[in-house]
Structure 1
Amino acid sequence: MRAFLGKRALASLISLLGLIILVFFLSRLTGDPTSLYLPLDASLEARENFREINGLNDPLLVQFGRYMADLAVLDFGDSIRRSEPALDVVLRAFVWTLQLAAITMTLVTVAAIVIGSLAAFHVGGLFDRIATFFSLIGASAPDFWIAIVAIVTISLNVAFIPTSGTGTVWHWILPVGVLFIRPFGLILQVVRSSMITTLGAAYVKTARAKGVKNKSVIFVHALRNALLPVITVIGDQAAALLNGAVVVETIFGFPGVGKLMIDSILQRDFTVVLAAIFVTAIAIFVMNLIIDILYAVLDPRIRY
């Protein structure tokens, strides 16, 4: 088990390093932030002082070497715009994104497993057709389009559901609802397909022949063996949710790391952009590691 997890962790570390290098150099292509933070009539001396304070005067490779040395001790530098540690800025925003993702994925996982399992048990029936129809629509619809339609059709007609902010529970309805639809449709389809195969296995037929209740057949005998492909998709969708939250958070003005990342790119706040990418990537890698552990628990053969 240790060797298995060690290989996964090493692969994640290499990917993280490559991501940091790529983002560092690409972020510099957005331009010099000096023109954004100083008046147009600022003197040449003021511009040089600004660049010197923020380490922008040095050659790009020197800046990269200094950044990697600081990163080794988890020092991301200060935000140019906010004049406070970039990591603190990102972690405050990431808490909001983590709550949004956790609530959404909990609802998605429970709903998709229950409805997908029942649809597989009644395959070809009315319930299965309805569930399949709506899941396919949900899996095909892009988040940004759903968000815009939700604002136009719901918020303009239902006064107590706001379109931005986080002040009350009503503020969470639209972001959670929009992020719910796509992963729900994808996971439900995988649950349904996997459960149809598992329900056709000999041991399940034997359990049903012995008079075991349908509820036990579905959720005790069949579900565990059908979970491996489902866990893969849940992990992929959880990671995609963190990425997809960038668009949804921006549309609904939700103060998460996605909106922070977009704002920081537009503001050329390089330290915050890199810190946001780092924290998000770590969260995704940890999530993938947890999925690998669940794999090994559900199927011991994977450990070897």
Structure 2
Amino acid sequence: MTGFLGKRMLWSAGSLIGLVILVFFMARLTGSPADLYLPIDAPNEMREEFARLHGFDLPLWQQFANFLRDLLVFDFGDSLRQGRPAVDLVLEALPTTLLLAFWSIGIALMVAVITGALAAWRPNGIFDRIATLLSLIGASLPNFWVAIVGVLVFAVQLRWVPTSGTGTVVQWVLPVAVLAIRPCGLIVQVARSTMISVLSAPYVKTAEAKGVPRRAIIFVHALRNAMLPVITVAGDQAAGIINGAVIVETIFGFPGVGRLMIDSISYRDFAVIQAGVMITAIAIFLLNVLIDIAYALLDPRTRAA
């Protein structure tokens, strides 16, 4: 397993290096921070002093070299807007985003696996048709539309949940539900199709002939062999939730990394942008490692890949 994980980690590390280069130069395409933090009629002397204080007067290649040097000690510099270390701001916001992603993908995975497995037991039955229709609708709905409709219906009209905030469990219900709908729909489709294939295998027929209970056949014998494609899709969706929480955090006022990144891009706060992208990428990198471990545990054949 060590060799298997080593190859995966080297591949992910290469992607991480490419992301470092891309983020640094893409952030500077947004323009000069001096245009936002100084008066419109600021003299050139003031602009030059601002650039010198923040290292923007150096050639771009030298700024990048300094960024790489500081990155080795996990130092992204200070936020232009708040005057605090950028990494501290991101680490304060990260738990909210990770918790939001954890509950969203956890609920989506649990509901989808059970629904897909039960739908596969009687293909084209009533339950299968309803589950397939609802999962296709859920997989097709964009998060921003679901979030806006959810606020209008459940928060404004019915007043069942608050429109924003993170202080109580009730305030998490709507954001988690919004983020869970699309992954749930996709995973139901994958779990259903994979389970239909597995349930037609000879060992399943043998278990049926021996009188093994239906619940044991579905959730013990068949489900484990059907989980690899499900884990693949669930892992992709979990990474997508971490990256795509920007919209949901903005709409519901969640103090997560997504909202912090939007504000930082608007204010051209390069240090926070770089710290946010890098720390999020590391979180996704660790998530991929966990997925690879799950692969190896579920199917030993993947260890030789």
TM-score normalized with structure 2 length: 0.97
Is 1:143 the counterpart of 2:143 in the alignment? yes
Q: Which whole-Å CA distance do the structure 2 matches of 1:20 and 1:164 have between them?
A: 33
Amino acid at match of 1:103: W
Taking the TM superposition and a 5 Å limit, the aligned residue runs for 1:125-164 are: 125-164=125-164
Contact 2:87 2:275 in 1 (8 A): yes
Amino acid at match of 2:251: I
Of 130-139 and 280-289, the range deviating more from structure 2: 280-289
Aligned sequence identity (%):
59
Q: How far does residue 159 in structure 1 lie from its aligned partner after superposition? A: 2.4
Other structure's SS at 1:280 match: helix
Q: How far does residue 165 in structure 1 lie from its aligned partner after superposition? A: 1.5
Of 293-302 and 262-271, the range deviating more from structure 2: 293-302
Q: Give the corresponding residue for 2:66.
A: 66
Q: How far does residue 42 in structure 1 lie from its aligned partner after superposition? A: 3.1
Q: Which whole-Å CA distance do the structure 2 matches of 1:178 and 1:157 have between them?
A: 17
Contact 2:132 2:189 in 1 (8 A): yes
Q: How far does residue 160 in structure 1 lie from its aligned partner after superposition? A: 4.3
Amino acid at match of 1:297: L
Q: How far does residue 233 in structure 1 lie from its aligned partner after superposition? A: 0.6
Other structure's SS at 2:30 match: coil
Q: Deviations over 1:128-166 (max 9, x none)?
A: 111110000000111111111112222111224122211
Query: Unaligned stretches of 5+ in structure 2?
Result: none
Amino acid at match of 1:183: P
Is 1:46 the counterpart of 2:46 in the alignment? yes
Q: Give the corresponding residue for 1:91.
A: 91
Query: Unaligned stretches of 5+ in structure 1?
Result: none
Q: Give the corresponding residue for 1:14.
A: 14
Q: Deviations over 1:232-270 (max 9, x none)?
A: 011011011111111111122211101111110011000
Q: Give the corresponding residue for 2:169.
A: 169
Q: Which whole-Å CA distance do the structure 2 matches of 1:212 and 1:222 have between them?
A: 12
Q: Give the corresponding residue for 2:198.
A: 198
Q: Give the corresponding residue for 2:179.
A: 179
Q: Which whole-Å CA distance do the structure 2 matches of 1:181 and 1:67 have between them?
A: 39
Q: Give the corresponding residue for 1:228.
A: 228
Other structure's SS at 1:11 match: helix
Taking the TM superposition and a 5 Å limit, the aligned residue runs for 1:207-218 are: 207-218=207-218
TM-score normalized with structure 1 length: 0.97
Q: Give the corresponding residue for 1:35.
A: 35
Q: Which whole-Å CA distance do the structure 1 matches of 2:127 and 2:65 have between them?
A: 59
Q: How far does residue 63 in structure 1 lie from its aligned partner after superposition? A: 0.5
Of 31-40 and 216-225, the range deviating more from structure 2: 31-40
Q: Deviations over 1:29-77 (max 9, x none)?
A: 1000112112223343332222111111111111001000100111111
Taking the TM superposition and a 5 Å limit, the aligned residue runs for 1:103-122 are: 103-122=103-122
Other structure's SS at 1:236 match: helix
Q: Give the corresponding residue for 2:296.
A: 296
Q: Deviations over 1:82-110 (max 9, x none)?
A: 11110110011111001101111111111
Other structure's SS at 1:156 match: helix
Other structure's SS at 2:157 match: coil
Q: Deviations over 1:257-291 (max 9, x none)?
A: 01111110011000100101001111111111111
Q: Which whole-Å CA distance do the structure 2 matches of 1:221 and 1:77 have between them?
A: 53
Of 22-31 and 294-303, the range deviating more from structure 2: 294-303
Amino acid at match of 1:10: L
Q: How far does residue 170 in structure 1 lie from its aligned partner after superposition? A: 1.8
Amino acid at match of 2:215: K
User: How many residues end up aligned between the 2 structures?
Assistant: 304
Q: Give the corresponding residue for 2:242.
A: 242
Of 36-45 and 131-140, the range deviating more from structure 2: 36-45
Q: Deviations over 1:108-131 (max 9, x none)?
A: 111111111111112211111111
Q: Give the corresponding residue for 1:251.
A: 251
Q: Which whole-Å CA distance do the structure 1 matches of 2:165 and 2:299 have between them?
A: 43
